[in-house]
């Protein structure tokens, strides 16, 4: 073990602490000259993570911090190329690269398992952040600009363009985003949280280039920065690079960027605003009550608020959530129920959506009276103990998924670091949990928190957000009027300047940079083979597969059931069945008792389905139903009994509960559209490729959202609709009980014997089914041309092409083609020139669909034309070996992206279960590495043809006439 206090002489060592629950050592340093902080989380993990965070404090809603985040990544002193960030994505084996703008900080993180790659990226990131070029043309591309609809014709219509401008138009089409920004505007009347740090589309054009430069000079300085790292690279090595590449060139700033505390109200306020909607529904309002609490960097205050929030709202048995879920005043609890602790001052909020506007005071009274009742009567001790148990479990779990584990730890401490709090205490929650165990023995502890933090807190805002079907029209007209006024005031010289700037930006976007100045990894740096995971298969009446993994004291358990043949109704309701199964009662326990039982013994139960096409035929399927959970080692037996009990004895008589769950599911699905529009468009465009693709659209696409709305309406109108679904559930459940089953277990190797013994004992009498007819779907092979219209200011476009799947020799080239088209053509055409937030192409090897997409796109027909133009570009241009290598690296990087230890074991289990053996995956990897440009051209010519093409868009009602003229099948929710 190296000396954990060893460090570079330019830094002062402050302290370090080993955190047993995380198995890491957290070290804190300060750069002696500039005062920059460095927190290093030393771990044996070889996925190293870097983040530099800066306190960024906007004083308006022009989006300066957000636009600066984008523009900073457009070239720097050492790397004066147009787009080093996206270029490095292509030249890297990174496991994560991004940049974030929060309410009061901006962060630039990346991660990589390859040391050479890590240091390459570190050099580019450090130079980008602290020595950015900030070219005015990049500001006009990423932020906003004036441009004529016909760029070279000053008599054509004047428009606003810009990546962030359109990104925020998309973001603020989301009702939940509007709800959040509106509530925080009133909760924080006088500081930075009052404003939209991402930028309000109506305000973004007010930001000048000089404003951007001034903000950069005052905020992007080491004295205002915190460096955070994770992994096995020695801290002195990291600090040497910080010092050499950045810190040695700066002195300490005299002025400090700070966030003043919010001005406090002396009495609660009520406010009302509107959100854009296609129609005004009587019960379309959101009502949220929010309180401003204490400072988040005070760990005691933060933990008390978190505990209180969990006790009140964690699950359906929690007293406040239970009242909200059962209230007839609204359709479902608000998406904003709980504690927000990432700002300097915390806020707690709760409410309902689907409310009649005139019932605002009733919702407010319901919440306050519920809190008063809980404060008067207290909370059962086991409820409080269960919430402490959940906090301990979440503290110990090694995460995975979208963010690397190290980055999750860093982000957990970032806000505290930015506001000069105790990062080590923030990450080491065990002492706080132990202290809380003593405090909660006082039966008045939770009631006192309710009284002090909420009931006696005058800084309370009740917000009503109501649908306005004319808002979008007024907003669009205001933008048109503004542009008309600007154009009317333009001189001929100013018009010529706009045209010249458009031409200059187009020329800049089309220039070919010397990419050799950027560092890179090559195919020679790609790991030679895939990792092999140890596992043991135990033969018994119930087959068991055990994976020994470093899970930090947790055990993961999944009951895997072969999906049997289902009828149409059972197939239609399969996802709903999976989402409600673990939310219902068991035996003589109602769902409230089961929710409390889950919280006491495990990290919750979940049910899901794993359905994939076979390698041989996209229309032929393997399907599995999965019931899963996780628990700390001492609770394994209780978890296993709960999982088994849920599968065997679930109740299908709680009609009111199912109605609640369907209403909540509808709300979540409706809210997902503007955030997941590109995925929904791709799902719709691919619906004709196979039976599974068609069913995925019906389950999880726009058709699925429409079905969720219809089912909720039907259940509200008539209990017979609920009873019919319950009957289907019972049939489905009966079929699963008689199907073949197996068990997957993941735990630390030293617990293998006890975990296996527990499983064999608890599940000994679980009924094991025989082979029977397997789950199947009718084949589908058709073309699609569909437009879904909804309330959005931007579009999401997709084209899908039916290709080949499984182990066909062309699958490798089709995988590489997506990245090749994105890197070489689509990124420039759709994002930089078209102004969309994103665009690209990808290949789904299971369904055999090659899909183009755009995200938060101001255009529609032009983007669809760009998809076609990229095909022509691929076929008719000469392409370089370097571009091919970059595309191959992208595919390999996504294949090799690590997950959590448990996640990697589970992934290994399921790829094998679906017939993708290690030998198959190694061969596929070798084929990817061997793809040639000739192969890319060949698959493009063979498959990306009009005969194989389907199109789908998700866009606004304003586009209806345009889409009808193009022959789209128009669909609405």
pLDDT per position as a tens digit, 50-70: 999 999 999 999 999 999 999
Q: Return the structure tokens found at 900.
A: 């959590």
Q: What is the pLDDT of residue 3?
A: 47
**Helix count and strand count (H, E) for the chain:** 35, 28
Q: Residue-wise over 658-688: b if at least 16 C-beta within 10 A, else e?
A: bbbbbbbbbbebbbbbbbbbbbbbbbbbbbb
What would the pLDDT profile of 139-195 be if each residue is shown by its tens digit? 999 999 999 999 999 999 999 999 999 999 999 999 999 999 999 999 999 999 999
Sorted by sequence, the CB contacts under 8 Å of residue 493 that are 6+ apart come out as none
Per DSSP, what are the bridge partners of residue 969? 786
Q: What is the pLDDT of residue 552?
A: 87
Q: Residue-wise over 481-499: b if at least 16 C-beta within 10 A, else e?
A: eebeeebeebeeeebeebb
In percent, the amount of the chain with pLDDT more than 70 equals 99
Q: What is the pLDDT of residue 41?
A: 97
Distance CA 86, CA 440 (A): 50
In percent, the amount of the chain with pLDDT more than 90 equals 91
As annotated, the active-site residues are 69
Look up residue 760 and give its DSSP letter: H
Helix axes 299-313, 319-326, angle to 10 degrees: 40
> Burial, 309: exposed, middle or buried (Cβ in 10 Å; 0-12, 13-18, 19+)?
buried
Confirm whether 269-402+421-468 and 785-972 share one CATH topology. Answer: yes
DSSP SS3 for 796: strand
Averaged over 355-361, what is the pLDDT? 97
Phi and psi of 947, rounded to 5°?
A: -65, -25
Q: Please report which residue ranges of 850-917 form alpha helices under DSSP H.
A: 861-876, 881-896, 901-913
What would the pLDDT profile of 382-437 be if each residue is shown by its tens digit? 999 999 999 888 878 887 667 899 999 999 999 999 999 999 999 998 888 889 99
Look up residue 279 and give its DSSP letter: S
pLDDT of 2 > 50? The answer is no
Per DSSP, what are the bridge partners of residue 841? 852
Q: How confident is the model at residue 102 (pLDDT cuts 50, 70, 90)?
A: very high
Q: Write out 283-334 in H/E/C secondary structure.
A: CCEEEEEEEEEEECCCHHHHHHHHHHHHHHHCCCCCHHHHHHHHCCCCCEEC
Instruction: Write down the domain spans for the chain.
Output: 269-402+421-468, 536-762, 785-972
Q: What is the pLDDT of residue 512?
A: 85
What would the pLDDT profile of 529-541 be if each residue is shown by its tens digit? 889 999 999 988 8
Rg, C-alpha atoms of the chain: 28
Sorted by sequence, the CB contacts under 8 Å of residue 367 that are 6+ apart come out as 289, 320, 324, 350, 351
In which residue are the tokens 């079929």 written? 735
What would the pLDDT profile of 782-811 be if each residue is shown by its tens digit? 999 999 999 899 999 999 999 999 999 999
What would the pLDDT profile of 735-789 be if each residue is shown by its tens digit? 999 999 999 999 999 999 999 999 999 999 998 888 788 999 999 999 999 999 9
What would the pLDDT profile of 562-572 be if each residue is shown by its tens digit? 999 999 999 99
CB 708 within 8 A of CB 666: yes
Look up residue 958 and give its DSSP letter: G
Q: Give me the torsion for CA of 921, 825, 836, 483, rounded to 10°.
A: 180
Question: What is the model's pTM?
Answer: 0.93
- Mean confidence (pLDDT) of the chain: 95
What homologous superfamily does CATH list for 785-972? Metalloenzyme, LuxS/M16 peptidase-like (3.30.830.10)
The two beta strands, 796-802 and 949-956, are: antiparallel
pLDDT of 659 > 90? The answer is yes
Q: How confident is the model at residue 1 (pLDDT cuts 50, 70, 90)?
A: very low
The two beta strands, 345-355 and 332-333, are: antiparallel
> Burial, 328: exposed, middle or buried (Cβ in 10 Å; 0-12, 13-18, 19+)?
exposed
> Burial, 583: exposed, middle or buried (Cβ in 10 Å; 0-12, 13-18, 19+)?
buried
What CATH class does 269-402+421-468 carry? alpha beta
Decide if domain 536-762 falls under CATH 3.30.465.10.
no
Comparison of pLDDT for 1 and 320, the residue scoring more:
320
């Amino acid at each position: 073990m190296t000396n954990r206090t060893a460090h570079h002489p330019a830094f002062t060592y402050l302290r370090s602490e080993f955190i047993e629950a995380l198995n890491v050592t957290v070290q804190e340093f300060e750069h002696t000259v500039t005062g920059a902080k460095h927190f290093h989380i030393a771990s044996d993990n070889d996925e190293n993570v870097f983040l530099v965070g800066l306190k960024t404090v906007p004083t308006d809603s022009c989006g300066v911090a957000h636009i600066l985040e984008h523009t900073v990544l457009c070239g720097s002193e050492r790397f004066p190329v147009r787009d080093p960030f996206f270029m490095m994505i292509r030249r890297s084996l990174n496991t994560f690269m991004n940049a974030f703008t929060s309410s009061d900080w901006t962060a630039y993180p990346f991660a990589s398992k390859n040391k050479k790659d890590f240091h390459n990226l570190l050099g580019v990131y450090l130079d980008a952040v602290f020595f950015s070029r900030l070219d005015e043309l990049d500001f006009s591309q990423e932020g906003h600009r004036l441009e004529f609809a016909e760029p070279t014709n000053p008599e054509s219509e004047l428009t606003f363009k810009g990546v962030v401008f359109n990104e925020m138009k998309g973001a603020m089409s989301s009702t939940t985003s509007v709800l959040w920004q509106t509530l925080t505007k009133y909760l924080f009347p006088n500081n930075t949280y009052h404003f939209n740090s991402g930028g309000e589309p109506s305000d973004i054009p007010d930001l000048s280039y000089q404003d951007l430069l001034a903000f950069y000079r005052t905020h992007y300085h080491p004295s205002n920065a915190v460096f955070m790292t994770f992994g096995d690279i020695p801290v002195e090595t990291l600090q040497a690079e910080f010092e050499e590449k950045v810190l040695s060139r700066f002195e300490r700033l005299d002025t400090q960027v700070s966030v003043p505390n919010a001005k406090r109200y002396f009495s609660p306020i009520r406010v009302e605003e509107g959100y854009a909607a296609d129609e005004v529904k009587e019960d379309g309002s959101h009502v949220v009550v929010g309180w401003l609490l204490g400072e988040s960097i005070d760990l005691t205050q933060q933990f008390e608020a978190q505990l209180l929030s969990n006790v009140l709202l964690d699950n359906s048995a929690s007293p406040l959530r239970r009242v909200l879920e059962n209230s007839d005043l609204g359709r479902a609890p608000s998406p904003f129920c709980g504690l927000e602790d990432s700002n300097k001052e915390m806020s707690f909020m709760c409410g309902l959506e689907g409310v009649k506007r005139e019932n605002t005071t009733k919702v407010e009274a319901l919440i306050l009276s519920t809190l008063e009742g809980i404060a008067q009567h207290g909370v059962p001790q086991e409820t409080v103990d269960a919430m402490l148990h959940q906090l301990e479990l979440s503290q110990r779990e090694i995460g995975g998924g979208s963010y690397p584990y190290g980055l999750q730890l860093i982000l957990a401490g970032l806000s505290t670091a930015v506001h000069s709090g105790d990062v080590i205490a923030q990450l080491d929650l065990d002492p706080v949990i132990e202290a809380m165990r003593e405090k909660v023995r006082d039966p008045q502890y939770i009631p006192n928190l309710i009284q002090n933090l909420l009931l006696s807190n005058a800084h309370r805002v009740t917000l009503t957000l109501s649908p306005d079907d004319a808002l979008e029209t007024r907003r669009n007209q205001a933008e048109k009027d503004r542009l008309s006024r600007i154009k009317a005031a333009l001189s001929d010289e100013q018009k010529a300047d706009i045209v010249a700037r458009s031409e200059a930006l187009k020329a800049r976007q089309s220039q070919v940079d010397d990419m050799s100045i950027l560092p890179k990894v090559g195919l020679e740096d790609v790991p030679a083979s895939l990792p092999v995971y140890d596992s043991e298969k135990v033969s018994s009446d119930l087959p068991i597969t055990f994976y020994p993994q470093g899970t930090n004291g947790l055990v993961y358990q999944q009951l895997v059931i072969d999906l049997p043949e289902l009828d149409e109704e059972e197939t239609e309701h399969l996802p709903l069945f999976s989402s409600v199964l673990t939310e219902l009662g068991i035996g003589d326990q109602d769902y409230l008792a089961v929710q409390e039982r889950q919280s006491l013994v495990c990290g919750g139960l979940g049910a899901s389905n794993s359905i994939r096409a076979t390698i041989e035929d996209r229309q032929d399927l393997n399907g599995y139903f999965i019931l899963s959970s996780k628990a700390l080692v001492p609770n394994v037996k209780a978890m296993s009994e709960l999982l088994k009990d849920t599968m065997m004895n679930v109740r299908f008589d709680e009609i009111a509960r199912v109605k609640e769950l369907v209403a909540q599911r509808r709300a979540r699905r409706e809210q997902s559209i503007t955030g997941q529009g590109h995925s929904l468009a791709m799902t719709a465009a691919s619906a004709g490729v196979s039976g599974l693709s068609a069913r995925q659209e019906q389950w999880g696409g726009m058709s699925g959202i429409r079905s969720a709305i219809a089912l909720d309406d039907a259940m509200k109108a008539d209990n017979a609709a609920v009873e019919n679904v319950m009957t289907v559930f019972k049939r489905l459940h009966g079929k699963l009980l008689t199907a073949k089953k197996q068990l997957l277990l993941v735990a630390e190797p030293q617990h293998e014997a006890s975990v296996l013994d527990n499983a064999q004992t608890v599940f000994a009498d679980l009924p094991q089914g025989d082979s029977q007819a397997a789950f199947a779907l009718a084949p589908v092979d058709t073309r699609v041309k569909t437009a879904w219209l909804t309330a959005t200011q931007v579009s999401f476009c997709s084209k899908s092409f039916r290709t080949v799947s499984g182990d066909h020799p062309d699958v490798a080239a089709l995988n590489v083609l997506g990245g090749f088209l994105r890197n070489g053509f689509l990124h420039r055409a759709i994002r930089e020139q078209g102004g969309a937030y994103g665009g690209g192409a990808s290949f789904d090897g299971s369904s055999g669909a090659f899909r183009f997409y755009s995200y938060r796109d101001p255009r529609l027909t032009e983007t669809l034309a760009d998809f076609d133009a990229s095909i022509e570009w691929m076929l008719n241009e000469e392409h370089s070996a370097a571009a091919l290598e970059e595309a191959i690296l992208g595919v390999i990087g996504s294949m090799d992206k690590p997950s959590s230890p448990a996640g990697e074991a589970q992934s290994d289990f399921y790829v094998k279960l679906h017939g993708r053996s290690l030998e198959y995956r190694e061969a596929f990897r070798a084929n990817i590495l061997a793809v040639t440009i000739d192969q890319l051209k060949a698959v493009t010519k063979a498959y990306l043809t009009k005969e194989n093409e389907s199109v789908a868009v998700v866009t606004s009602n304003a586009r209806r006439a345009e889409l009808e003229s193009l022959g789209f099948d128009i669909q609405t929710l």
